[in-house]
Amino acid sequence: MVALCRVRTCFTTWIVVRLLLAFKMRYTPIFPAPLALLLQSDAPVPSPSSGTSALVEILSNCGPVALAVLAVLAIASVYSWTIIFGKLGSFGKATKQSRRFIRTFRKATRLQEIAAITGDYAPSPMAMVFEEVYEVYKRQTGGYGPPRNLAPLERAAQTASSEAITRLEQRLTWLATIASSATFVGLFGTVMGIIGTFHGLGTAGSATLRAVAPGISEALITTAAGIFVAVPAAMAYNQFTARLRVFASGIDDFSRELLNSLEEIPQRSATAGVQQGLGQVSGPRAMDREV
C-alpha cells in the first residue's frame, strides 16, 4: 500500500508539473530581441525636464554634422523670411499704385497727360506697360495723330507685360527651392545622427535605452527644423503665385484697353474733322484721350 501511494503521489506531481510548464509556455509574452535590449536600463531614468531646457540640452550635445545642418537651415529660414516680407511690400505697392493708375488713365483726356505722370506710378506694372506702348507710339507718329500700325504696339504691350511679371517674380524661385529642399536637408541630418548612434552602440557594446535616446533625439531635431523652415516658404510661394496670376490677368486687360483706345484715335479724329467742317462744336467725349 505504501508503494502504491508513493507511485500515485509521484504521478500526480508529474502531471501538475507538466501542466504548469505547458501553461507557462502558452501565456508567457515573447518580446523581440531588439526591443528587449532597448528596454534594458543600466541606470535609473532621470525625471523629465521642461521643453525649453531639454531643447537647449539637445542643441548643446549635437555633433558637428547636426550643427552644420541646423546652421544651413537657419540661413535658409532667414533668407526665406526676408523674401516673404519684401514681396509683401512690393506686391502691396504694386496693387495700390495699379488701382490709382487705372483711375487716372480712365479720367485723362490726352495720352500726353498720362505719359507726364507715369513716373509717379513706377511700382505699377500697368504704368510700365503704358510707358513702353507710348514710346513705340511716339516713334511711329511723333506723338501726334493716329498710329500707323497696331502690330508693333501689340508686341510692345506683350513684351512689357512679360517684363513686369518677371520683375514681380524675382527671387520667388528661392522660396520654391527652400520649400522643396529644407525637409531633405533636415532628413540628411537625421540619417547621419542615426548612423552615428548605431556606430556608437556597436563600439560601446551596449544597447540600452539610455545609450540610444540622445542620438535619436539629436537626429530628430534636424527633421523638425527642416519642416519648420519648409512650411512657411511653401505657403508663401503658393500665395505669391496666386497673386501673380491676378496681376497677369489685370495687365492683359489693361493692355487690351490701351490698344483699343489707340485704335479708336482715327475714328475720333475723323469725327472731329467732320464736326468742325460743319461748324459744330465737338463735345468732350469726341476728343476723349485724343493726342
pLDDT of amino acid 2: 42
Show contacts of 139-143: CB within 8 Å, 24+ apart. 141/291, 143/112, 143/291
- pLDDT class for 150, splitting at 50, 70, 90? confident
Residue 98 above 50 pLDDT?
yes
Q: What is the pLDDT of residues 54-63, one digit of tens each?
A: 666 666 667 7
pLDDT of amino acid 109: 81
pLDDT of amino acid 5: 44
Name the residue with cell 500700325.
149
More confident residue, 14 or 237: 237
Cα–Cα dist 38/30, whole Å: 15
pLDDT of amino acid 60: 66
Residue 28 above 50 pLDDT?
no
More confident residue, 222 or 57: 222
Residue 39 above 60 pLDDT?
no
More confident residue, 18 or 281: 18
Burial of 190 (0-12, 13-18, 19+ CB in 10 A): buried
- pLDDT class for 282, splitting at 50, 70, 90? very low
Least reliable range by pLDDT among 103-107, 176-180, 271-275: 271-275
Could you report how far apart the first and last alpha carbons of the chain are, in Å?
138
Which one, of 149, 94, 138, lies nearest residue 116 by Cα?
138
Q: Stretch 35-43: mean pLDDT, rounded? A: 42
pLDDT of amino acid 262: 84
Percentage of the chain lying above the pLDDT 70 cut: 64
Residue 269 above 60 pLDDT?
no
Residue 273 CA, chain-centre distance (Å), reads: 58
Q: Return left, alpha or beta for 26; rule: phi > 0 is left, psi -120 to 50 is alpha, else beta.
A: alpha
What type of residue sits at position 247?
Answer: F
Cα–Cα dist 173/177, whole Å: 6
Residue 210: C-alpha distances to residues 35, 158, 197 (Å) = 13, 66, 12
Residue 134 CA, chain-centre distance (Å), reads: 37
Residue 160 above 60 pLDDT?
yes
pLDDT of amino acid 142: 76
Residue 20 above 50 pLDDT?
no
pLDDT of amino acid 290: 47
Q: What is the pLDDT of residues 115-140, one digit of tens each?
A: 888 888 988 999 999 999 988 888 88
